[in-house]
Amino acid sequence: MSRTAHELDHRIVGDDMQCVEITLDPMETVIAEAGTMMMMDEGIEMKTIFGSGDGKEQGFLDKLWGAGKRVLTGESLFMTTYTNMSSVRRTVWFAAAYPGKIMPLDLLDYQGRLICQKDSFLAAAKGVSIGIAFQKRLGAGLFGGEGFIMQKLEGDGQVYIHAGGTTVQRELAPGEMLRVDTGCLVAMTQTVDYDIQFVGGIKNTLFGGEGLFFAQLRGPGHVWIQSLPFSRLADNIIAAAPRAGGRGKEEGSILGGLGRLLDGDN
């Protein structure tokens, strides 16, 4: 099958804090989320665009609708394109904002469409459309947390997705079901049936510490799961950060109080 999207050459650099090096031929373009660019060679033109990012000719209302759909996922209203305007190959680097792995995925391998978490998309070849995938069920729309509105990547080009921590992949057989914390779901193929399920039980609700809902995924299809969602990382950082007066998470511990007493803080 011939491609309509630009063909990108890439190299993943690093281990736990990865970046992706994308080499562009003359007049080749990569689109990316605002704020993900790390560095770029001379001769690459950076341009802010308004819309879905697929490079197709669109009227103002179509562009407004494409941008509005991105706002619903919590992403920036704009995207950025990087085009090699020189006569030789040039390179641009992109990086995510937190530890994890960058996965290069070819949409041709997944029937031209992937559904991914709203903050996992990093970059893609020009020609890939970035939109939203509304879930059919009301429960998914109301209670999905991080995953209630997913991004839809469509086209025949290369995409680059970032997953926090360690990535686990599962191939689900027809009818096989997997329950996942909503924030841990990174991406899935379009054949996977997705819904939100209530954890249930008063003790689970009050003391479980895992949230009230989880994602229920039913095969067939392929899913990507991350061990460290950004929301969980942020919550842990906030919980461990010093409070007003310079006191941290040990505030309520016996050792913390005794230590401050011995130090003369009380």
Q: How far is CA 225 from the centre of its chain?
A: 11
Rounded to 5°, angle at Cα 66 from 62 and 71: 140
Residue 96 buriedness (CB in 10 A; 0-12 / 13-18 / 19+): buried
User: pTM for the whole thing?
Assistant: 0.77
Specify the pLDDT at position 151: 85
CA distances 226 to 88, 152, 233, Å, are: 38, 18, 12
CA distance 159 to 56: 17
- Please state, in angstroms and rounded to a whole number, the distance separating the CA atoms of residues 56 and 50: 12
Q: Provide the strand spans (E) within the chain.
A: 9-13, 19-24, 29-33, 37-40, 44-50, 78-84, 90-95, 100-106, 113-116, 121-125, 129-134, 149-154, 158-164, 167-172, 177-181, 185-189, 193-198, 213-218, 221-226
To the question of domain 9-232 being in CATH 3.40.50.720, the answer is no
Mean pLDDT calculated for residue range 11-23: 92
Domain ranges across the chain: 9-232
Q: Rounded CA gap, 39 and 163, in Å?
A: 21
How would you classify the pairing of strands 90-95 and 121-125?
unpaired
d(CA 62, CA 90) in angstroms, rounded, equals 32
Amino acid at 242: P
> How many other C-beta atoms can be found within 10 angstroms of the C-beta atom of residue 236?
12
Residue 123 near residue 33 (C-beta atoms within 8 A):
yes
* pLDDT > 90 fraction of the chain, expressed in percent and rounded: 44
Given a contact cutoff of 8 angstroms between Cβ atoms, the answer to whether 10 and 20 are in contact is yes
Q: CB within 8 A of 86, min separation 6: which ones?
A: 26, 42, 43, 44
Average pLDDT over residues 71-85: 74
What is the dihedral sign for C-alpha 144, 146, 148, 150? negative
The residues that bridge with 165 in the sheet, in sequence order, are none
pLDDT at residue 109 above 50?
Answer: yes
The neighbour count for residue 35, using CB atoms within 10 Å, is 10
Mean pLDDT of 129-142: 63
User: How is 162-228 classified by DSSP, letter by letter?
Assistant: EEES-EEEEEEPTT-EEEEEGGGEEEEETTSEEEEEE--SHHHHHH-SS-SEEEEEESSEEEEEESS
Please say if the pLDDT value at position 254 is more than 80. no
Mean pLDDT for all residues in the chain:
78
Tens-place pLDDT, residues 216-253: 899 999 999 999 887 777 777 787 777 645 555 445 44
Residue type, 21: E
93-112 average pLDDT score: 93
Q: Are 172 and 225 in contact (CB under 8 A)?
A: no
